[in-house]
Chains A and B, each alone.
Chain A
Amino acid sequence: MPPRVIKVKVPSGAKHEEITKAVNAKLTRRATSLLRKTDEIVLSIFVFERAQPTVEKKAKKSSQK
């Protein structure tokens, strides 16, 4: 039996524009600055080492120190 491919009827003209606008509005997302951390191991880094861009987990003891 052939698969039932999804084919939907696309609204035409002004109605299509109106619906597209409504759907796009519903798809708009707003990022927050709240990050949820799930790591159970967090390491410190030290002055003789380095810094990294935020979000990255970071840590190490320098090979030089």
Chain B
Amino acid sequence: MSVCLVTAPTAAEFGDENEITSEVVRRVTLEPQLGILSLAAVLELRGDDLRIVDLNRSYFHIADSCGTSKLGDFAEVAATVIAAKEAHVYGFSSICSSYPLTIRIAQALKAIRPHCTILFGGPQASVVDIQTLSAFPFVDLVLRGEAEETLPVLVDALMEREQLDRVPGLTYRSKGQPRRTPNAAVIKDLDALPTPAYHLTGELRGAPRATLEMGRGCPFSCTFCSTNDFFRRNFRLRSPERILHDMRSLAVAYGVSDFDLIHDMFTVDKRRVVVFCKAMIASGEKFTWACSARTDCVDEELLELMAEAGCQGLFFGIETGSARMQRIIDKHLDIRRAKEIIDAAEQLRIGTTVSLITGFPEETREDLMETVRVLMHSARCPRSDPQLNLLAPLPETPIYLKYKNQLTLETLCSDVSHQGEWQSDNDIELIRKYPEIFPSFYLLPTPHLNRNLLLELREFSLMGVEHFRWLLVSLDQVTGGILDFFCEWRQTRLHLHPSFDGFELRRYYRTATFRTDFLHFVRHHFASKEPAVEAFLEYEDAIRVAPHWDGAATSSGTPLSPGATLWWTDIPVMKKQCRVVELACDIEEVINALEQQTQPAPSRGLRLYVTREISSGTQSLEMISDWVAGVLRACDGNRSIEQVLKELSYELQYVEEDVREYVFVRLLEAVHADGFIEIYRIDSGNMVS
């Protein structure tokens, strides 16, 4: 019996051209899906006849080869791709965000292969199993929960045409009605599972990092979280030896040395974290890793050990800054302590993601203000990334069960379920028809808060922190807080673009128009007179007016490597993305003051800086000297080295004439070696002697 496993089509929530081509969208959605690869490894080990379809890869392949217009009917195209694998059983992974599309793909597949068995698994199908089988006759089976042990039992039962009621954790039809067999026991020994079959999909080739499963199960019971429905509350960890073994294998096979250790709550048991860290240190390996943690499950001492063991990133789900809401959602974090832990991680140079949620039915403006305070505390730490998310009512969670009769469908929903700028009409139709299957696309009532304001606050905070982190921090410090400031800004936004709503609003916050509008608003706000705010406005202005070159003038030339012998006729050009800017303040001093929540000391005087791209979408700022700034500015791609030297004679006039050439060439070679400029050699036929 042949089995074809199909990944969740998570890329399909991104359908616009700019999203499809976005480097971050590609990287994120093309990461290996551990669940399906773990099952594939089990079947492969048994010698089953196995195929696998990576729908995200198919999605981008179609977008790249046929254009985004073909993506509208991706369900049909995907079904054709899957059907070509010719299997008896098609097993679909599922998560909430792509569940409507998974359903539609399965329907199209069943139309092509009416005699195949359609099997669903994964977190979403596991909790809406009965509803799924009731609503969609083309779905034959749902295998609930962890399936590494139950999938082989099911495959054998299907092969031998045995009764399905002996397969644990299965939801099937009997006399036309959905029935459940008892839940399967959780898998106690995770070390006994084979390494996920990374080799079956190509994602890790050339990848900067790999995901590794650290363990399963969370003992906590937060009211909004669905993890216990899938992994149960039985906390399990893989052994340090096994993790190290897999890290080493992946390092050899794919060259990765940075790992995301996947576990809902790795740090629950401090003693075991210590054992893991000590094993990492003792191994002598220089692997780096990131994991999730609760701020009440780590302390400064443990963080120090984790940093020494290679930890470079922590995900903290803090959810709400309100002590009252912490109790209501059963999270029970001490917010003061949470802030101390964020600071401690910052001191240890561990990056943090601080995740917050708004949109709880009980949440008041005071609660929201406390949450935004935590968001700004995170923003004040350079290595911390705050994010504010809308609450998604995940099926069967306590919060869903309490409010399931009050769900509201808006154009925008929680980012847990959808982050794209576009949503398929076919998906929307399904979501509207079956709220009990797709509740995460709905919102809960927020009687004390304006929901449109919350939806916009999410977009504003995400893009605002991304583009104007320190400007927002300075505004937060000198005004009554960023939430009030946002409300003022929103009034202006409503005046400027009154019709913007839903996806149009999301798109707006991603554009330069938002950035221009917002800076204009801040410039005319009384807070703009405050030194810290003024400093960042000046920075934005300087960036806007600074000339930069795209290298087009020298596109026909050959770039020279640093250290190459230069000709006077070679053309130096400042790299794309580089800009030289002048500021009247020391921007680092201003940032230091904001980090300490103090007023920046007055320190006026011309400072020169250069920006350059240090990674995709991120530019650094470095203070440089007047000489280096002069060299970079003169390298506009229209002048030869000889002409640039003439241009610079004014800058270097206080250098004695007999050594001026030497000084200039040293500077030029150094900025070339440092990667600020390219030097091109134009076709020698055009060379001027």
Q: Residues on A close to B: CB < 8 A?
A: 1, 3-6, 8-11, 15, 19-20, 22-23, 25-65
Contacts and interface: CB of A to CB of B under 8 A. Distances in A.
Contacts of A42: 24, 462-463, 466, 510
Contacts of B10: 60-61
Given A3-B684, A6-B567, A30-B622, A23 B667 contact: yes
A55 to B, nearest CB: 6
6 contacts: A3-B569, A31-B620, A35-B614, A35-B621, A48-B264, A62-B95
B382 interface: yes
B687 interface: yes
A49 B133 CA distance: 28
Nearest to A37: B466
Interface stretch (B61-69, B78-86, B347-355): B347-355
A65 B661 CA distance: 63
B662 A58 contact: no
B133 to A, nearest CB: 22
Contacts of A48: 225, 227, 264, 292
B262 A4 contact: no
Contacts of B625: 25-28
B351 A51 contact: yes
A53 B270 CA distance: 22
B394 to A, nearest CB: 9
Interface size class of chain B, counting residues whose CB lies under 8 Å from the partner chain: 35 or more
A47 B18 contact: no
Contacts of B7: 63
A44 B566 CA distance: 47
B548 interface: no
Contact of A34 (B312, B317, B353, B539): B539
Contact of A4 (B355, B567, B609): B567
Given A43-B25, A58-B353, A63-B35, A32 B463 contact: no
Contacts of A46: 355, 389, 416
Q: Which 7 A-B pairs have the closest CB atoms?
A: A63-B33, A54-B351, A51-B315, A39-B617, A47-B317, A51-B313, A50-B260
Interface string B300-322: 00000000000011111100000
Contact of A1 (B225, B316, B616, B689): B689
A65 B36 CA distance: 11
Interface in B102-131: 123
Nearest to A46: B416
A54 B382 contact: yes
Nearest to B93: A63
A6 B641 contact: yes
A60 B28 contact: yes
A49 B384 contact: no
B34 A57 contact: no
A29 B622 CA distance: 6
B33 A44 contact: no
Contacts of B609: 32
B343 interface: no
B22 interface: yes
B671 to A, nearest CB: 8
Interface string B383-401: 1110101000000000000
A29 B462 contact: no
B663 interface: yes
A8 B668 CA distance: 13
A1 B31 CA distance: 55
Interface in B5-62: 7-8, 10, 18-19, 22-25, 27-29, 31-37
A3 to B, nearest CB: 5
A35 B618 contact: yes
Given A41-B19, A41-B510, 20 more contacts: A3-B684, A4-B689, A6-B567, A6-B568, A22-B663, A23-B667, A30-B622, A32-B591, A35-B618, A37-B466, A37-B467, A38-B618, A38-B619, A43-B415, A50-B260, A51-B316, A54-B383, A60-B10, A60-B31, A63-B32
B279 interface: no
Contacts of B569: 3-4
B95 A65 contact: yes
Given A3-B567, A3-B569, A53-B288, A47 B315 contact: yes
B355 A47 contact: yes
Given A35-B620, A38-B618, A50-B211, A65 B97 contact: no
Contact of B662 (A8, A38, A45, A53): A8
Given A26-B625, A60-B29, A55 B661 contact: no
A19 B416 contact: no
B302 to A, nearest CB: 16
B588 interface: yes
B153 interface: no
A29 B419 contact: no
Interface string B370-382: 0000000000001
A64 B123 CA distance: 7
A51 B314 contact: yes
Contact of A33 (B36, B314, B591, B624): B591
B666 interface: yes
Contact of A57 (B291, B415, B566, B617): B617
Nearest to A59: B28
A34 B621 contact: yes
B323 interface: no
B620 to A, nearest CB: 6
Contacts of B616: 39, 57
B516 interface: no
Given A27-B670, A45-B387, A59 B24 contact: yes
Nearest to A65: B123
Contacts of A64: 34-35, 123, 213, 230, 262
A37 B24 CA distance: 13
A62 B317 CA distance: 15
B588 to A, nearest CB: 4
Nearest to B13: A61
B44 to A, nearest CB: 17
